[in-house]
Structure 1
């Protein structure tokens, strides 16, 4: 890693060339960006670099490479795994992409957005053209396109459209030596070897700095229908999903949560109300949509499908939102689970995935195994049933809280990851590895995978200056 004199000399050279707006050294201005979104990691940086063009990013990276100074790229700083937090020893500089916030090009079927474009702004721009970008998540008001691409973000519409990787048509990025890769003009057929764009998606800034992305757009939603469904167990929920998928492609979201998650939201989030009367062991939130050229009305479609499921004994009760306000109220419950979990007390949280067909059994069996191994804990999962993504929480015993998190949670996390690995799943579904899961990746991943990751990292970033300490060393 660089020494202090190397960093200071680089900072002065960049300040002379680009000015104080691009090279920020005021500690108060930098401070908010040194801590991750969850407040678990705190870093240090002598400067925050804020380029506004790809050429400026390239010049900064070239200068940093010559000086041997590491860079930590950052967008909205919404990483759930400490992926955008600089090292605590101050050995790296922050490289903020937030000033690169232009939508360079937009049409009915694609948009070229710079790395600092906020997701909600892309949604608005696409909507003004009668189109939409079909990826959304709770942090849409602050997360940025570059970060979403670097993390291969998921969200609630993966069921129909896939993760960020499925929506990326091309990438522009500055590589570790300061050269620029321009893949923004996608070709339907291109067999010139390795897919560099594909490597950059999900690379967490460890292979280069993403500066712009060409993204797929789809037709805007003409109308949508949102239903809240009560079921006895996750297998019934999966049977409901499979039945719906046999009948239609209109289902875009299919979320599952247990009764205890619902009760935590109702208790901690003001203004929330139970969608159904009585208690149900499990709940499903399902959304179906119709595009402008679709003939079927999604509310009638959902009504027919749910009526059949009730008659078949798969569904116990269901309600379809009567209007957009009620639909948003249903979604607010789902989007508030993490906030309610935090308000409930300390917990070991997992973003994991298993094969879809195994998810119903896994959610029940894993919770039982953890609660048996760690007496006094409460474990449960919620998530995206259609893609196998489980957000699995192990809540600390009520009387031990922070002490349990400090002393026993690491063993509980290892147990959960062992159960996931035994199912052929992944210890990171949509949040990435960052610095939080780096050791667990080394412990659980096959040796061939680790060897390949290290070889790719060394080939593209031989000096280890791109987001050090994240994903793979």
Structure 2
């Protein structure tokens, strides 16, 4: 039998087990998501203070089959933190389980609880003279448990990998309320199945991450940032190859920016300082992190000269100060904000093999043009093949004018991605938004294996039901 967590008996039982301070009325922020596409429901909101209280909550929910919805920073864009249908869930927010438990600079390791804000983890690493390289626009509010649960990407994947690549071990509460004590600081541990990799990217459907052992890195002695104008996406890819040939792992980020994105910024966020008087059709944002003895500005100047000789760029800007570096990154990071103000007909977080990006952009633009009068803003992490390919209405129209075309646009783009061996969810996860997409494009054998894992670890189906896999 499934009970509503607002049921007086269930709520009273929890309050007998845990202090009253753990529970709180659900404020609107727990029931909303950034794009405003769904509103959620909540039977009871709990803010546990440690892993034992998380375990007690999950055990109690399992006994009466109450759905459990883990909640991090609420910044996810695919609805994994919002449950609109079915019995009202017990929302378990990790925001108070937020301590930095330890920093081990000689090991390049930091242990953080799941509720620690990403920016706080970065700051704790910096205080120890180290770098935690996961970086994304929501790092001031996103929490590390959610970053791991969604296997977040961000701007540093080219050099450092996704969240999964930055984690050595986990502590987690499994769906029956048992605690898995897996906070290993080991780099090598071949002792059977890797539960860490199962829980990372599972979006709270296999358990609740409560703490993580994270990898740190030496801080680059010198950092440099530049914007290079490129004639087209193929030139951008060739420039990336040239940069890596010359600078190796010193290339930390390589972002593709379309002129349409710069024009959206000028229209919607005019206070953001534009780097070019006239927005070029395409440009790339390059970030270097070099070891001691290497000058990043000289390295970028040398790269520019080599690219100019190969007709891969026609101009550019190299940041001369921290203020200029921040201004360049502000342009890239505010593009999504401008997008939201205009309102996309359909947004796509996709990846394709890097060599096929020019073909994808050209064919995608052709297909979208055949569906109607639209504008496309294509931008993102060119270095790892992840693009945000977003389709907008023509000037003077709104996304509401194209509601009946949203699915047609989405499927046209996703079908193209799939035909090129790509992914329709590169870094944001599946959540509830893309469950149908996973069923449409996912390998059947993989899906069967995922369902078997879910059934084995969560036989009652209480953990974030409806996310990733259909409930």
* Superposition TM-score tier, normalisation by shorter sequence: over 0.9
SS at match of 1:305: helix
Shift in alpha-carbon separation, 1:279–1:22, aligned structure 2, 3 A? closer
Matched, 1:71 2:51: no
What is the match of residue 302 of structure 2? 304
My pick for the range that moved more, 140-149 or 84-93, is 84-93
Q: CA deviation at 1:432?
A: 0.3
CA distance in 1: counterparts of 2:47 and 2:436, whole angstroms: 31
Please name the residue that 2:200 is paired with: 201
- 2:102 — aligned with what? 105
Cα distance 1:405–1:453, how it changes in 2: closer, same or farther (>3 A)? farther
After superposition, where does 1:83-122 map in structure 2 within 5 Å? 83-108=80-105, 109-122=108-121
SS in 2 for 1:116: coil
Query: What is the distance in 2 between the residues matched to 1:394 and 1:445?
Result: 24
| Secondary structure, counterpart of 2:454 in structure 1 | helix
User: Mind listing any 5+ residue stretches in structure 1 that lack a counterpart?
Assistant: none
Which residue is equivalent to 1:345? 343
**How do 1:263-282 residues align onto structure 2 when only pairs under 5 Å count?**
263-282=263-282
- Seen in structure 2, the aligned counterparts of structure 1 residues 279 and 57 have a Cα distance that, compared at 3 Å, is closer
Name the counterpart of 2:284: 284
Map 1:172-211 onto structure 2 (within 5 A). Answer: 172-211=171-210
**2:357 match:** 359
Task: Provide the TM-score with structure 2 as the length reference.
Answer: 0.96
- 1:18 Cα offset (Å): 1.7
Q: Is the 8 A contact 2:79 2:431 kept in 1?
A: yes
Q: How well do the aligned residues superpose, as a CA RMSD in angstroms?
A: 1.6
* 1:259 corresponding residue in structure 2: 259
Residue 460 (structure 2) pairs with residue 460 (structure 1): no
Q: Is the 8 A contact 1:348 1:405 kept in 2?
A: no
The answer (yes or no) to whether the contact 1:346–1:405 under 8 Å persists in 2 is: no
CA contact (8 A) 2:158 2:383 kept: yes
Q: CA 1:377/1:193 → structure 2, altered by over 3 Å: closer, same or farther?
A: same
2:452 and 2:122 map into 1 onto residues whose CA distance is 37
TM-score with structure 1 setting the length: 0.95
Work out whether residues 350 and 422 of structure 2, in 8 Å CA contact, stay in contact via their aligned partners in 1: yes
Correspondence for 1:162: 161
Match of 2:324 in 1: 326
SS in 1 for 2:170: strand
User: Offset of 1:346 from its aligned partner?
Assistant: 3.6
SS of 1:348 mapped into structure 2: coil
Query: Residue 371 of structure 1: CA displacement?
Result: 1.5
Range moving further from structure 2, 378-387 or 86-95: 86-95
The 2-side partners of 1:188 and 1:91 are apart by 41
Measure, in 1, the Cα distance between the counterparts of 2:186 and 2:213.
Answer: 12
Closer, same or farther in 2 for the Cα pair 1:288/1:6, shift >3 Å? closer
- 1:90 CA drift (Å): 4.5
2:168–2:187 contact (8 Å) kept in structure 1: no
How far is 1:234 from its partner?
Answer: 0.6
Shift of 1:190: 2.9
CA 1:141 to 1:6, structure 2 compared with 1: closer, same or farther past 3 Å?
Answer: closer
SS in 2 for 1:267: helix
Which residue of structure 1 aligns with residue 368 of structure 2? 370
Q: Residue 413 of structure 1 corresponds to which residue in structure 2?
A: 410
What is residue 427 of structure 2 aligned with on the other side? 430
Listed as ranges, the gaps of 5+ residues in structure 2 are: none
